[in-house]
Structure 1
Amino acid sequence: MSLSEEKLQRQYTMVDGLSIHDRRSTEALPEDAPIVILIHGLVVSSRYMMPTAELLAPVAHVYAPDLPGYGESDKPDYMLELPELADILCKWMDAVGIEKATMLGNSFGCQIIVEFAIRHPNRIERAVLQGPTMNPHARTFGQQLWQLILDSRYEDSSQAPIQAYDYWQAGLLRAVCTVQIALADRIEAKLPDVQVPTLVVRGEKDPLVPPYWAEEVVELLPQGQLAVIPGGGHTLNYSAPVELSRVTKAFLEATKSQMVTQEI
């Protein structure tokens, strides 16, 4: 799969003394076009979000930041916990001039979005949780590792070197600490406080997000709905971007009138 960045421009923004790298769309769109921020998953970067970002760029102002510690962004000596990641994401929005946005995340990115929605509820319009972790019924490193191994058969093989490079950039210690943060997060206790329309997207074959957990997520969300992508694995944003962008576009359109009503 090609990771062309022709439709997205790379930018660096200083936030709290840290240089934060992002990729953003440059297409001319109507003023009322939605803003969509793509949030990467565990230890990786915005690089693997590009297939979906490019497909959303014709209908939305797309931004895909590398959170501090990951990808091309600065690597602070300290670890940013979930609340700090949510807060610096909000400060980055201030710095680049985004007042409010829809957020789409994969895996651990969903945990960041949920934390953000609770801490900064006035800065998020909608959420798309693609493959939300962690399943509370399989919250051990061994279980998650085994499920990742099972998932590999449903992923595009070209994703592996991208992830390996991102892990190398983050470093072993940061990777281990990030896994610990993800496993410790009780997302199920936070979901009832996410007060925005939320689309949960699950790959049909995703072993990390089994059907019962996806349904539990939707039930816990005040405004949740579920979309299942046939044959898909855990990282639909890379391996099934056409399908993910299709359900995301439909969700954006379906909730557009609700956004207008809220603004009035």
Structure 2
Amino acid sequence: MSRPDRFEIEAAGQLGHVFVSRGPAGPLPARPAVVLIHGIGVSHRYFRRLHGRLAETGDTYSIDLPGFGATPRPAHALSVADHATYILGALEQLGVLEFVLVGHSMGSQFAVEAALQQPDRVSQLVLMGPVVDSKRRSVLQQALALGRDSLFFESPSSNALVFTDYLRCGPSWYLKTLRVMMDYHTEERVASIAAPVLVLRGANDPVASADWCRRLAARAAQARLVEIQGTGHVLQHNRAAEVAEAILGFAGTHATAKETLRENPA
């Protein structure tokens, strides 16, 4: 895969980066664009393997949100809704009006909020390693789970990507964003999502536990839970092929169902 094109985009008064790969031209069946949203402290870099897999079959977008990666820090902490507004505005500027939205970790919160703000644009929603477990809503519990994940269930390369991005993010911005993450009740917001939802987790992930993901999926109107074996929280890097297959299978199933409904209205 060629290197994605990088676009610097200002939306909702904030500046971020969008990395774009156009899908191959030819006889392959069209699929909706897939948009990848990173979590707290990190950037598009830990999506590179997954981005490459997805770009083999269609348009793929990875976003560095304001304050993360190489983007400038906003003047104040942004709410989950602020990030969602940026995502929607940036994609609109690129002409991406309907898409499958994939959020990892805190990015799952941004994805949920974007789907609530403009539900007609999000055809399917993928919550990958979602946070924050409603039964473990303290910073200490989250930190212990993340530490356990990095020690026992991550590869050296996934740890290197995450920790170097944490250094770029810096402790001040990380802690400001952490407060926002901890105050957002994903399980309450997901209950109002109209789009089909895929909850996707690494089978060894101590951050997004099996119990939490089952409870979260149960709150959504239409949801499926899929576990990827042999990996932890950063499953999109360590098991990119399996994650891409799960996302595309989910998106393709629901896209087919949607087309059938359009052809055969009740």
- Corresponding residue for residue 37 of structure 2: 39
TM-score, normalised to structure 2, is 0.92
Q: Secondary structure at the match of 2:35?
A: strand
Match of 2:108 among 99, 107, 110: 110
- Corresponding residue for residue 97 of structure 2: 99
CA contact (8 A) 1:56 1:245 kept: yes
- The 1:26/1:173 distance shift into structure 2, 3 A limit, reads same
CA contact (8 A) 1:7 1:54 kept: no
CA contact (8 A) 1:9 1:26 kept: no
Q: Secondary structure at the match of 2:115?
A: helix
Residue 13 in 1 paired to residue 12 in 2? no
- Corresponding residue for residue 247 of structure 1: 246
Tell me the distance in 2 between the aligned counterparts of 1:132 and 1:226: 12
**Structure 2, unaligned runs of 5 or more:** none
- Corresponding residue for residue 119 of structure 1: 117
Tell me the distance in 2 between the aligned counterparts of 1:261 and 1:76: 44
Tell me the distance in 1 between the aligned counterparts of 2:117 and 2:83: 11
Q: Secondary structure at the match of 1:23?
A: strand
Letter in 2 for 1:9: D
Letter in 2 for 1:28: P
Tell me the distance in 2 between the aligned counterparts of 1:261 and 1:73: 42
Tell me the distance in 1 between the aligned counterparts of 2:211 and 2:156: 27
Q: Secondary structure at the match of 1:63?
A: strand
1:36-80: per-residue Cα shift (whole Å, max 9, x none)? 000001111111111111011111210001011111223221111
Query: What is the number of equivalent residue pairs in this alignment?
Result: 260
- Corresponding residue for residue 181 of structure 1: 180
Instruction: Choose 133-142 or 10-19, whichever is displaced more.
Output: 10-19
- Corresponding residue for residue 233 of structure 2: 234
CA contact (8 A) 1:34 1:59 kept: no
- The 1:230/1:188 distance shift into structure 2, 3 A limit, reads same
Segments of 4+ moved more than 6 angstroms = none
- Corresponding residue for residue 204 of structure 1: 203
Tell me the distance in 2 between the aligned counterparts of 1:131 and 1:140: 17
- Corresponding residue for residue 156 of structure 1: 155
Alignment of 1:160-171 (within 5 A): 160-171=159-170
Instruction: Choose 64-73 or 159-168, whichever is displaced more.
Output: 159-168
Q: Secondary structure at the match of 1:134?
A: coil
Shift of 1:241: 0.9
Q: Secondary structure at the match of 1:73?
A: coil
- The 1:263/1:156 distance shift into structure 2, 3 A limit, reads farther
Match of 2:130 among 129, 132, 145: 132
**Identical aligned pairs, as a percentage?**
27
Shift of 1:263: 6.0
Shift of 1:127: 0.8
Instruction: Choose 30-39 or 110-119, whichever is displaced more.
Output: 30-39
Alignment of 1:36-75 (within 5 A): 36-75=34-73
- The 1:263/1:75 distance shift into structure 2, 3 A limit, reads farther
Letter in 2 for 1:121: P
Tell me the distance in 1 between the aligned counterparts of 2:158 and 2:11: 29
**Structure 1, unaligned runs of 5 or more:** none
